[in-house]
Homo-oligomer: A and B are copies of this chain.
């Protein structure tokens, strides 16, 4: 059982997807499975989040797509990072790290407001 899935924090999905695509072309479905497998289902990407995200990234020119045939012999849209996307991945990774550090400072502090 123990199928406790965490909700994604808004904004982190883009980072996750960019990271997944940093290894080379992949289609949406496989990206979602990859994230679930890696995190042992701690993170789940619903399709209603997945495809809008993909389209968003493409519109911002961080990724590009082309139709190909998947490993399972089905039509699938393969996405790959653009150079803009690579820069964005770097920026968002740094941003995430800073954010986690800032949160950490607050959560571990023992000084009170006032």
Contact = CB atoms under 8 A, between A and B. Distances in A.
Given A105-B38, A112-B23, A9 B10 contact: yes
A48 interface: no
Contacts of A30: 113-114
Q: How large is the interface on A (under 10, 10 to 19, 20 to 34, 35 or more residues)?
A: 35 or more
A40 to B, nearest CB: 8
A42 interface: yes
Nearest to A16: B106
Given A6-B95, A10-B10, A26 B106 contact: no
B38 A106 contact: yes
Interface of A: 6-7, 9-12, 15-16, 19-20, 23-24, 26, 30-31, 33-35, 38-39, 42-43, 71, 93, 95-96, 98-103, 105-107, 109, 111-114
8 contacts: A6-B95, A9-B99, A12-B103, A15-B107, A34-B113, A38-B111, A42-B102, A96-B103
